């Protein structure tokens, strides 16, 4: 084609496809002579295509952003709704029941009885002799002498009764002293005595064997630790064949 005055020749390579980036739009330019207005129209068309391409790209990016925002919003809503829900209580296995503590009841104290024979009684002075008159009991060879014997009861026991077995056909009583002494100090009067009593004279059939029950004791009869307990009987002896003051033995009743 020949150029004409007032026309602008717009040349391009024949049948060249020029794709716009990521737009998918293709166009073909042929050798042709276009007026100025046609060139303007062509530029506008290209500009329009570019605008369409950018609008699609922008809309796609906006859609992705909105999708991300909507998914984040849904996650927040789910997390908030989950936090608002009451926590699920896990069922705990029933703990084994502890055995109830047994309240200790009163201590059961058993009753005990001890017999002490006359052979355990001796005079405190070795110058005083003693005689065992068979079953009538023991007495000192020195008139009005004393015989004594230990009281063998465990510590913590409570003596409830002490019975002296004796023979007294005289006119005077036989004094009895239930005493204790400390293992680390001297006990004066008021501490040493546990019980004081007398075995009165008397007769009984067939052999004049008597018994004296003593049931009053200092401190309730409790045997204390660090003390030694013993019993003493005074004024024993044989005055004549009719008057005897002998010790036959004793019995101790206690709870422990």
With H, G, I as helix, E, B as strand and everything else as coil, classify residue 215.
coil
Give residue 238's pLDDT. Answer: 93
CB neighbours of 155 closer than 8 A, spacing ≥ 6? 223, 224, 225
Q: What's the pTM value of the predicted model, to 2 decimals? A: 0.59
Using an 8 Å Cβ cutoff, are 178 and 214 in contact?
Answer: yes
Residue 104, token pair as written in the block: 């200790």
pLDDT at 20: 45
9-63 pLDDT per residue, tens: 444 433 344 444 444 444 444 444 445 445 555 556 566 556 655 555 555 655 5
Domains and CATH numbers, the chain: 8-76 (no CATH), 111-255 (2.60.120.260)
Map tokens 């029933």 to a residue: 94
Query: CA 151, CA 22: separation in Å to the nearest integer?
Result: 123
| pLDDT tens-digit map of 50-101 | 665 555 555 565 556 666 666 655 555 565 555 555 555 565 666 667 777 7
Tell whether omega for the bond before 206 is within 30 degrees of 0, i.e. cis.
yes
For 167-204, what is each residue's pLDDT tens digit?
999 999 999 999 999 999 999 998 999 999 999 999 99
SS3 131: strand
| The token pair that represents 28 in the structure block | 């073909």
């Amino acid at each position: 084609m020949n150029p004409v005055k007032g026309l602008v020749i717009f040349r391009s390579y024949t049948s060249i496809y020029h794709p716009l980036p990521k737009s998918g739009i293709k166009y073909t330019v042929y050798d042709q002579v276009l007026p100025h207005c046609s060139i303007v129209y062509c530029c506008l068309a290209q500009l329009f295509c570019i605008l369409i391409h950018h609008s699609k790209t922008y809309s796609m990016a906006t859609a992705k952003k909105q999708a991300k925002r909507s998914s984040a919003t849904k996650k927040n809503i789910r997390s908030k709704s989950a936090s608002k829900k009451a926590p699920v209580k896990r069922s705990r296995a029933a703990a084994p029941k502890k055995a109830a503590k047994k309240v200790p009841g009163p201590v059961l104290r058993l009753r005990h009885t001890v017999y002490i024979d006359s052979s355990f009684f001796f005079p405190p002075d070795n110058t005083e002799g003693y005689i065992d008159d068979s079953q009538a009991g023991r007495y000192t060879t020195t008139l009005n002498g004393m015989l004594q014997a230990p009281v063998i009861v465990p510590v913590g026991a409570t003596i409830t009764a002490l019975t002296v077995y004796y023979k007294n056909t005289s006119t005077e009583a036989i004094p009895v002293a239930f005493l204790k002494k400390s293992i680390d100090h001297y006990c004066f009067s008021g501490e040493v005595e546990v019980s004081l009593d007398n075995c009165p004279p008397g007769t009984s059939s067939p052999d004049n064997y008597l018994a004296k029950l003593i049931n009053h004791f200092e401190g309730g009869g409790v045997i204390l630790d660090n003390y030694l307990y013993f019993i003493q009987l005074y004024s024993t002896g044989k005055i004549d064949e009719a008057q005897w003051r002998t010790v036959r033995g004793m019995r101790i009743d206690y709870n422990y």
